[in-house]
Every structure is written in C-alpha cells, then in structure tokens.
Amino acid sequence: MIKYVIKRFAQMMAVLLIVSVLVFLMTNFIGDPVDMLVPEDATLEEIEAARIRLGLNKPLYVQYAIFLKSVLHGDFGKSYTYGLPAMGLIVERMPATLELVAVAAALVLLIAIPLGVYAGAYPKRALSKFIMSGSILGISLPSFWMGMMMIYIFAVIFRCLPASGRGDTIPVLGVQLSIFAPGGIRYIILPAVTLALTNTATMIRLTRSGILENMRQDYIKYARAKGVPAKALLFGHALKNALVPVITVFGLDLGNMVAFTTITETIFAWPGMGKLLIDAINKSDRPIIVAYLMAAACMFVVLNFIVDILYTLIDPRIELR
Amino acid sequence: MERKEKHEKNSGWEQFLKSEFFYHYKKNVPAIIGSILVAIAIFIVVFGRFFAPQNPYDLTQIDLADSYLPPIWQDGGKAGFLLGTDAQGRDIFSAIIYGSASSMMIGLVGAMASCLIGTTLGLIAGYYGGKVDAFIMRVADVQLSFPSMLIALFIMSVFGRGVGKLLVALTMVGWVTYARTVRGETLSVKKMEYVEAARIIGLPNQKIILKHILPNVINSVIVLATIQVGSFILTEATLSFLGVGVPITKPSLGLLVKTGFDVLFSGLWWAAVFPGLYIMLIVFGINLLGDFLRDELNPNLK
Amino acid sequence: MSEKNLLEVKGLKTYFHTFKGVVKAVDDVSFEIKPGEILGIVGESGSGKSVTSFSLLKLVEPPGVVEAEQILFDGKDLTRAGEKEMTKIRGKDISMVFQDPMTSLNPLYTIQKQMEEVLILHEPGMSKAQRKERCIELLSAVGIPNPKERLREYPNQFSGGMRQRVIIAIALATNPKLLIADEPTTALDVTIQEQILKLMKKLVRENHTALILITHDLAVVSRMVDKINVMYCGKLVETGTTEDVIKRNAHPYTEGLLNSIPKLYEDRERLDFIPGMVPNMFDLPAGCYFAPRCKYCQEICRSQQPQMREIAPGHKAACHFPLIREKAEGEVE
C-alpha cells in the first residue's frame, strides 16, 4: 500500500510538472504582458526596460526555470489589475468556490443516486422512463442559460431569492463560509442547483446503467436462487457493484464542477476563483490565469489520487501496482 | 410477378424497414421525437436563410428604432418580429436561424474532426501496442484528469476568439473519448481468431485494421460522435457566452444568450430565453437520438 | 420404492415471447423425483434443460413465461406460490449450483459474507458464532483447506474449482431437500470435473438430498444418476432409469447421443455423430422435432408429433417407432 501511494505521488508530481510546462508555454501567447504594464504612450526604451524587469529578454528555458522556481515558492507574480499577489487572490476566493462545489456535489449525490437506482431497478415503470427522459433533458440544458432562467424566475418574477452575490460570511474553523451565516443558504441555492444540474443528469444515467448491468449478472441470479429477496438483491448486491464506476466518475465530476464554477460564478456574481479567472481572461491578467490553472491542476490531481485510493478500498479485484 | 420485382428493387430499404433496428425505433417514442427535432434543426440550418425575415448580421437590414420589441403576441409586439428584437433591433427569430447554422456547423465539424483523429489514434494504439500505445494513452490519461471545459477555456483564452480556433480547441479536447473507447475495443477484437487468421495469412496491417477491426468498433464511434455533436454545441455556446468563443460579430446562439443576459434584469426576457431554448431543443433531440443509438448499437458504452 | 414423490412436475411450459416470435424453450414437460434420488437431465445446448431448472424455481426473466399444470414440491404447488413464498423456498428447500463459478459469486463480498447470507436468510435462529462454525464445517466438507482463513478472502482469490466447491457448500448449507446443479462442471478443467461430481454425489447421498443434475454429457450422467430425462428442442423425448436409458434406449436421439460418446475399449475408426443440425427454435418441424435428423424416420414422423408412451414400467419415450432392444447383452460398461 505504501509503495503504491509513493508511486502514485510520483505520478502526481510528473503530471503537475507537465502541466506547468504547458501552462508556461501557452501563457507566452497571451498578449504581451508588457503592454499591460506600461502606459499607452510609453517610449520604446520604457517598454524595453519593462521587458528586462520582467525577465522577458532571457531565453525561454531560463524563463521557465525562473517561472518554476517562483511557482514552487507560491509566487505567481502580482495581478495586473488588482496589484496583489495572484496566488493570494486565488486562495482568498477558494473557499467560496469550494463551498459552492461542495453544496452542488451533495445535491448531485442526494438526488442522482436514489433516482438512478430506482430507474435501474424498475426500468419498465413510467416514472423510470420519466426520470430517464428528464435526465436527457438535463444533459441537454445549457447550464448558463438554466442559471439565467432561474434568476429570472426566482429573483426577477417572484423576488424570493437573491439574484447574485454571496451574502455575509462567518468564519467556520478559520474559513469564511456563507452557508452557515444567517440567510446564507438563500444565496447559494440558485448557483448550487445550476452547478449540480448537468452532473445530476449524468450521474442518474450512470447509476441506472450500473444497476441494470449488474442486475443482469449471474451473481444476481445466483443470489436470487439463494433466496435473497428483491430489495436485498438491489441494495445489498447490485448497488455496491454499481457504485464502483460511480465513484470514479464522481471524482471527475467534482473536477468538472470546479471548472463549471467559472460559468456559474459569472452568472450569479459569486465571488469565487472561477469568476476571478473569467475576469482575468477578459483582461489578459496573466498571473491570475497561471495561478488559477496551477491551483486547479493540484486540486484535480489530488482528487484523482483520492478516487484511486477509494477505488482500491471498495473493489478487492483491483491490485495495487 | 410485378410485386416481386418491386420488392427486389427496394430490398435495401425494405430490409431496413423489416429490421429489428427499425422495429425498435418505431416503438421508441423518445427516439422519434429526437429525430423529428434533429430533422427540424437541420431543415432550419439548410433552408432557414430563405425564410428568415432579415439577415441580422447585415447592418443595413436592421433598424435601431425596432430595438427591444417584445414577441409578437405581447403588447407592443410588431409584425415581422415573431420572437421580438434585441438591443440593436435585430429580429431574434432570424438571429436564432443564423446562429443555429453556425453553432451546429461548429458542433458537427468539431465532432467529425475529433472522431477522425481519436479513432485513428485509438486504432493505432490498440493494434500496434507498445510504445506508441503507451504514449497516446498517457497523454489521454493526463488530459482526462482535467475537465475538458477548462482545457477548452484555457486554449481559447490563449489563442483568442475565432471559429477556427474554437474548432481546434474542441478537437483537442474531443479526441480522447474516441481514442480510449476504440483502443479498448480494438484490443479485444485483435484477440479474435479471424483477426489472428488474417495476420497469419499475411494480410497487411492497414488492411486488417480497415477491413476487420474498424467495422467492429464503428458502432461505438457512431454513438459517441452523435452525442458529441450535442455536447460540442453546448460547449461552443458556453465558451461564446463567457466571451472566449465565437467573435462578437459572428452568429452564435451562445452570444445571443449573452446579449440577452445583459437586459434580463430589466424584464426583457425574450432575448435570452428563445436562443437558449433553441439550443436546448437541438441538443435534446441529438441526445435522444444518441441514447437510442447507444441502446441499439452498443448498450455497454458508457 | 413406494416412497412419496418429492417433486412432481406436470405439463411445464416455459415460453419466451420475443421480437421474432414465441420460443417454446420448455414445452409440456412432466417428470418426478423421489427424496434422495438423483435425476439427470440430458440434452444438447438449447434443448431446454437449463430453462427447466430455472422454471422450477421461477427464476425465468421476462420475456419468459412459466406455466404448468402442477409443480408439486413437498406437498406444495409451486405454480400457485408467489414471489414471497418462492423466496423462502429458494436456497432453503431447493438450492442451486450454477454453471459458471467464475461469475456466480458477488466479487465485492467475502466468501464468509456470501455463505452466511443464506444462513441469515433461512436459519434466523442461528447465532453469529454458530454461523461461522457452520461455514467452516461446510468448507471443510467440500474439501477446502484452511477454511478459517479462506473465509475472509474474496472470490477472485479462489480458482474456478474452489469457487464451485464454495457454491456447493452454500447450496448444502441449509440442508435442502432438492439440489439443482446446472452443468456444474462444464466450466471447469477436465481434471477437476470428476472430483467435483464425486464430491457432490457423496454429499447428496449423505444428506439424503435429491439432486437434479443437468448436463449435456451423457457419460457423466451414466455414472452419477438413478434416472435420466433426455430432452430435445424443449420436449422430453425419453425418460427412465439409468439402465433403461443407457442400455435399452428407445429413442433414436438417445441412441445418437450414446453413439457419440468415445469409448475407451472400443476400437473404432471414428465417432458416430448425429447428422444435421438442431432445428431453429422459431421454426420447428411439424411432426417429430427429431424427424429431420432421424435415420429411422417414416412418413408419420414428419406430420404427427409423437406422445410419451410407456415402453416398459417406468421407461417412456416419445417416438412413433421406439427402438426395441434385447436385455443388455454384450454391451460394455
């Protein structure tokens, strides 16, 4: 087990290194950062001075080495627009995003697994067919549009939920969270539902097909022949097997949700790192983009690692290699 | 006698009508709804320009005086502007027609490019194995550990807006699903005895891949491609909505929703509602069809 | 011999209603079995022998439909039993051993959990310790070394033969009155087949459990069983004691099956085989289903279906022209 963990850890580092190279190379294409720093009427000498100050006159690999070194120190430079360290900005906004993702993820699990199990266990029933058609509709919905429609319905027409923002936050274990603040839940409902929507739909389908597939297996028929009642077949035997792929996909979904917060946060003006990224992209604020990508990469890599470990714990067939 | 002749003439079509595939299709209401939606969407793409009241991207045809008109059935609606107008006085109905043509084209071309590249790489990786396989699959693994939306977003933010760049970005994120599925299936087909036999009699590898392996994996590829067209339409719309997709001057359903969003809070709902609704209907239709194809062609596909 | 029958099946029909038409997988089959008796059901694949066993336990999934005049088991008519009652009978009074031990066990649970499951369901009075003890006892009875340790292992840590032993142990855990084994050794290596069969026969005899052994291998059956049912295309074509069926077989199909068994001491150039193919189940011949492949076929065979007729006491065959044989002479066992 320890050997496995070490091996996976080395892989994680390798992936992060590759990502850092790609990010470095590609951000070199994002508009010349010097343009953002010097006044519009700057002279050539001033521009050249700025280039040297930023180290942009050195060869690419030297620039990368400098980049990597500062990245390892958590230094991504100062945001052009905010004038503050980029990583600090990201870290400051991370709780808001993670809070949103966590609530959305809880919604996904609470809604998708029961519905998926039901649709898989009774595929012929009308309700199951309704759930399945609904889930196809769910994957077909543009989530940004869905968010808007919810704003229009609940904030503009009925005026019962706030259209944007996060509300007040209170510190919980040193982290600023809004959901425990008075009225905080009202702010998070619409963005969380929007964020959860697509993933709920895919998760319903995955759970259902897992249940359907496992219910066809020999071991289920054998368990029936042993006298295992229908409910126990479903929850005792098929569900656990069906959940094996669900866990993997849920891990990927968490990553997806982090990515989709860029959209949700933009629509609901949720002050998280996703909105920060979109604003940064529109303003070519390179340090923030780079800091965001590296932070997100770390998150995904760790997530995948956790999923892999969980996977081996739930399924004895998988050997640690 | 005459009847028999006719029978033979149409045998391909008639065989299809008698097939299990068609039998299941007839009984599958969602699949029929899906194909109707897709058929309508394609019809609009092909013939839409002929019945669109205006060309919303031709500045000489739009009149600022017509801005913010509500749909025709509401008070203040104006004849000729079925679904109302936006801030520049563009007819939403026409804008949807033009926008959907470009959105569907992007989805279709992006999916086809991904499909071609991904399937080829999957066949190569699965058939030849070894280092090529290891390399392709490592790249796929690394890529898969990141959400494709984020990768596309990043690529677009680096290279800037544009239809061509968008297609490149979609292909770069889209090829992986094909590569993985096709590789997996190739591996299992490769072990089958008729493929072994073909190798023993010395058939060239390319011929074996095209004649014996490709036909076995094509079903999955068709299903994946169908679903991907839908998801790419959504991705295009989302990226355009975020301001990194199609340039503002070009037609796109996502951009229409974006411009609609700016005025949503003032109660001008139609500019955002209708384009989004239309995206949903197209993608819904494609997904219903894709779902049916999956059940028929390869139920094991995830 | 006048013991009451444990199981009496009358007019069992299992039909599958599919897209292409109705498949009569089991068509009007009747047989019975006494307590402690071993019955072999023999036939080619697709003859309906497995479906017969699943039908007895009502384990046939849609589009299959099971109908029977009567399935009298231990005084109860199973045709009238609902799913709830069947759940109580399955695994308790009638248990099953499946064909493929590699897929019969749930991969995510330990052997112990899967063995105990049947005890928890059917022997609710047992304490936890008693259950564990019973599991260990059963595993040793089926010849698994270190049962205590192996209980904690997962199915993927067992070989095919070992898994089948586990499944037999589970099947016998509740001392059932009837055990149905559906091709229990087909998926195993030849060297292990014999061991498993011998083990099963021994355990069944010890517990006075009746056994229905389903197989396509007449050679296996002839050494194992008391009575034989031969099935062809969903129909019962011959039934009788092992001696009747093996030595005085009356149906040409049985004769064909017997002739296709390799015999060690017989010096033959090549094995006999039954000419032709098993007919398409959607498109069965009008008369006797075996007529197209039968070397004794007459006109009537093509038009009229033969009924089961008694040839000798307890020996029946469905043939217009049953083969009459002299009492076994010169036949080598």
**Chain A residue with the nearest C-alpha to that of C100:** A218
Could you give the CA distance from residue B256 to residue B240 in angstroms, rounded to a whole number? Answer: 9
Q: Is the pLDDT confidence value at A5 over 60?
A: yes
Return contacts of B74-82, CB within 8 angstroms, 24+ apart.
Answer: B80/B53, B81/B53, B82/B53
- Picking from A206, A213, A237, A243, the residue whose alpha carbon sits closest to that of residue A224 is A237
Distance from CA of C96 to the nearest CA of A (A): 6
Contacts of C166 (CB under 8 A, 6+ apart): C101, C105, C111, C114, C115, C139, C142, C144, C155, C158
* pTM of this structure: 0.83
The predicted model gives A268-287 an average pLDDT of 89
Say what the pLDDT of residue B43 is: 95
Using the beta-carbon criterion (under 8 Å), do B280 and A152 form an inter-chain contact? Answer: no
Which amino acid type is present at position A6?
I
Say what the pLDDT of residue C106 is: 92
The predicted model gives C59-84 an average pLDDT of 88
Instruction: Give domain limits for chain A.
Output: 87-283
Q: How far is CA A42 from CA A4, A299, B65, C85, in A?
A: 56, 40, 43, 90
**Chain A residue with the nearest C-alpha to that of C118:** A226
Say what the pLDDT of residue A31 is: 56
| Most confident listed range (A160-169, B111-120, C71-80) | B111-120
Q: Is the pLDDT confidence value at B222 over 70?
A: yes
Q: Is the pLDDT confidence value at C269 over 70?
A: no
Cβ atoms of residues C243 and C237 within 8 Å: no
- Picking from A56, A66, A1, the residue whose alpha carbon sits closest to that of residue A28 is A56
Could you give the CA distance from residue B80 to residue B30 in angstroms, rounded to a whole number? Answer: 34
Q: Record the tokens describing residue B146, joined without a space.
A: 């990141």
Question: If pLDDT is split at 50, 70 and 90, which confidence band does C266 have?
Answer: low
The predicted model gives C105-132 an average pLDDT of 91
Q: How far is CA B78 from CA A47, B91, B260, C57, C233, in A?
A: 55, 11, 19, 71, 74
- For chain A positions 188-217, those within 8 Å of chain B (CB to CB) are 206, 209, 213
Say what the pLDDT of residue C122 is: 92
Q: For chain B, which residues lie within 8 Å of any Cβ of chain A, measuring from their own Cβ? A: 30, 142, 144-147, 149-150, 153-155, 157-159, 230-231, 234, 237-238, 241-244, 254, 257, 260-261, 264-265, 267, 269, 272-273, 276-277, 279-280, 283-284, 286-288, 291, 300, 302
Q: Is the pLDDT confidence value at C67 over 60?
A: yes
Say what the pLDDT of residue C20 is: 78
Interface ipTM? 0.85
A316 touches chain C (CB under 8 A): yes
Q: Is the pLDDT confidence value at B227 over 90?
A: yes
- Picking from C132, C169, C101, C114, the residue whose alpha carbon sits closest to that of residue A240 is C114
Measured between beta carbons, the chain A residues lying within 8 angstroms of B257 are 142, 144-145, 148
Distance from CA of C245 to the nearest CA of A (A): 30
Question: If pLDDT is split at 50, 70 and 90, which confidence band does C331 have?
Answer: very low
Measured between beta carbons, the chain A residues lying within 8 angstroms of B158 are 26-27, 29-30
Q: Is the pLDDT confidence value at C329 over 50?
A: no
Q: Is the pLDDT confidence value at A276 over 90?
A: yes
Distance from CA of A311 to the nearest CA of B (A): 16
Q: What is the CA radius of gyration of chain A?
A: 24
Tens digit of each residue's pLDDT (9 = 90 or more) over A87-113? 999 999 999 999 999 999 999 999 999
Q: Which of A49-63, C16-30, C284-298 has the lowest mean pLDDT?
A: A49-63
Instruction: Report the neighbours of C using a cutoff of 3 or more CB pairs below 8 angstroms.
Output: A
Q: What are phi and psi of A36, to 5 degrees?
A: -80, -20
**Chain A residue with the nearest C-alpha to that of C156:** A317
Question: If pLDDT is split at 50, 70 and 90, which confidence band does B131 have?
Answer: very high
Interface test with C, best of A213, A218, A226 (most C CBs within 10 A): A226
Using the beta-carbon criterion (under 8 Å), do C89 and A227 form an inter-chain contact? Answer: yes
Q: What percent of chain A has pLDDT over 70?
A: 95
Q: Record the tokens describing residue A159, joined without a space.
A: 């005026």
A235 touches chain C (CB under 8 A): no
Measured between beta carbons, the chain A residues lying within 8 angstroms of C98 are 218, 221-222, 225
Q: Is the pLDDT confidence value at C328 over 50?
A: no
Cβ-nearest to B287 among A30, A140, A300? A140
- Picking from C37, C13, C46, the residue whose alpha carbon sits closest to that of residue C210 is C37
Q: Which of B67-81, B161-175, C81-95, C131-145 has the lowest mean pLDDT?
A: B67-81
Using the beta-carbon criterion (under 8 Å), do B276 and A148 form an inter-chain contact? Answer: yes
Helix (H) or strand (E) holding C181: strand C178-182
Question: If pLDDT is split at 50, 70 and 90, which confidence band does A35 have?
Answer: low
Could you give the CA distance from residue A164 to residue A188 in angstroms, rounded to a whole number? Answer: 9
Could you give the CA distance from residue A307 to residue A304 in angstroms, rounded to a whole number? Answer: 5
Contacts of C175 (CB under 8 A, 6+ apart): C207, C209
Cβ atoms of residues C326 and C289 within 8 Å: no
Measured between beta carbons, the chain A residues lying within 8 angstroms of B280 are 137, 140-142, 145
Using the beta-carbon criterion (under 8 Å), do B280 and A145 form an inter-chain contact? Answer: yes
Tens digit of each residue's pLDDT (9 = 90 or more) over C155-211? 999 988 889 889 999 998 888 999 999 988 888 888 888 888 888 888 888 888 999
Task: List, in sequence order, the alpha helices (H) in A167-238.
Answer: 184-215, 218-225, 230-232
- For chain C positions 125-154, those within 8 Å of chain A (CB to CB) are 154
Distance from CA of B63 to the nearest CA of A (A): 27
- Picking from A282, A277, A288, A290, the residue whose alpha carbon sits closest to that of residue A66 is A290
Say what the pLDDT of residue B5 is: 46
Q: What are phi and psi of B146, to 5 degrees?
A: -120, 140
Say what the pLDDT of residue A137 is: 93
Instruction: Give domain limits for chain B.
Output: 46-301
Could you give the CA distance from residue C267 to residue C57 in angstroms, rounded to a whole number? Answer: 44
Could you give the CA distance from residue A239 to residue A241 in angstroms, rounded to a whole number? Answer: 5
Could you give the CA distance from residue B151 to residue B161 in angstroms, rounded to a whole number? Answer: 15
Measured between beta carbons, the chain A residues lying within 8 angstroms of B231 are 139
Q: Is the pLDDT confidence value at B245 over 60?
A: yes
Q: Is the pLDDT confidence value at C22 over 80?
A: yes
Distance from CA of A209 to the nearest CA of B (A): 8
C258 touches chain A (CB under 8 A): no
Q: pLDDT higher for B96 or A252?
A: B96
Say what the pLDDT of residue B3 is: 45
Q: What is the DSSP letter of B268?
A: -
Tens digit of each residue's pLDDT (9 = 90 or more) over B249-266? 888 899 999 988 888 877
Q: Is the pLDDT confidence value at B4 over 60?
A: no
C242 touches chain A (CB under 8 A): no
Could you give the CA distance from residue A34 to residue A36 in angstroms, rounded to a whole number? Answer: 5
Could you give the CA distance from residue C86 to residue C93 in angstroms, rounded to a whole number? Answer: 10
Cβ atoms of residues A85 and A73 within 8 Å: no
Q: Is the pLDDT confidence value at A311 over 90?
A: no
Which amino acid type is present at position A95?
P
- Picking from C156, C72, C145, the residue whose alpha carbon sits closest to that of residue C106 is C156
Q: How far is CA B149 from CA A261, B121, B154, B257, in A?
A: 11, 22, 9, 19
Using the beta-carbon criterion (under 8 Å), do A137 and B284 form an inter-chain contact? Answer: yes
Task: List, in sequence order, the alpha helices (H) in chain B.
Answer: 2-9, 11-18, 20-27, 29-51, 92-128, 130-144, 148-159, 163-190, 193-200, 205-208, 214-242, 253-264, 270-297
Could you give the CA distance from residue A59 to residue B142 in angstroms, rounded to a whole number? Answer: 28
Contacts of C177 (CB under 8 A, 6+ apart): C6, C35, C74, C93, C94, C209, C210
A226 touches chain C (CB under 8 A): yes
Contacts of B297 (CB under 8 A, 6+ apart): B219, B220, B222, B223
- For chain A positions 243-282, those within 8 Å of chain B (CB to CB) are 245, 252, 255-256, 258-260, 262-263, 266-267, 277-278, 281-282
Q: Is the pLDDT confidence value at B128 over 50?
A: yes
Say what the pLDDT of residue A37 is: 63
Q: pLDDT higher for C303 or B115?
A: B115
- Picking from A106, A109, A70, A107, the residue whose alpha carbon sits closest to that of residue A87 is A70
Could you give the CA distance from residue B147 to residue A256 in angstroms, rounded to a whole number? Answer: 5
Q: Is the pLDDT confidence value at A159 over 60?
A: yes
Q: What is the mean pLDDT of chain A?
A: 86
Return contacts of C100-104, CB within 8 angstroms, 24+ apart.
Answer: C100/A218, C100/C187, C101/C160, C101/C161, C101/C163, C101/C164, C101/C166, C101/C167, C101/C187, C101/C188, C102/C160, C102/C163, C102/C187, C103/A217, C103/A218, C103/A219, C104/A218, C104/A219, C104/A222, C104/C163, C104/C167
- Picking from A318, A308, A276, the residue whose alpha carbon sits closest to that of residue A293 is A276
Structural fold of domain A87-283: MetI-like fold (1.10.3720)
Place of tokens 């990368």: A64
Could you give the CA distance from residue B110 to residue B164 in angstroms, rounded to a whole number? Answer: 10
Domain at B46-301, CATH from 1.10.3720.10, 1.10.760.10, 2.60.40.10, 1.20.140.10:
1.10.3720.10
Instruction: Give domain limits for chain C.
Output: 232-241+248-333
Question: If pLDDT is split at 50, 70 and 90, which confidence band does B2 have?
Answer: very low
Using the beta-carbon criterion (under 8 Å), do B257 and A144 form an inter-chain contact? Answer: yes
Say what the pLDDT of residue C249 is: 86
Q: What is the mean pLDDT of chain B?
A: 87
Q: What is the DSSP letter of B301?
A: -
Cβ atoms of residues B245 and B239 within 8 Å: yes
- Picking from B92, B96, B98, the residue whose alpha carbon sits closest to that of residue B80 is B92
Q: Record the tokens describing residue C243, joined without a space.
A: 């001696």
Helix (H) or strand (E) holding A34: helix A33-37
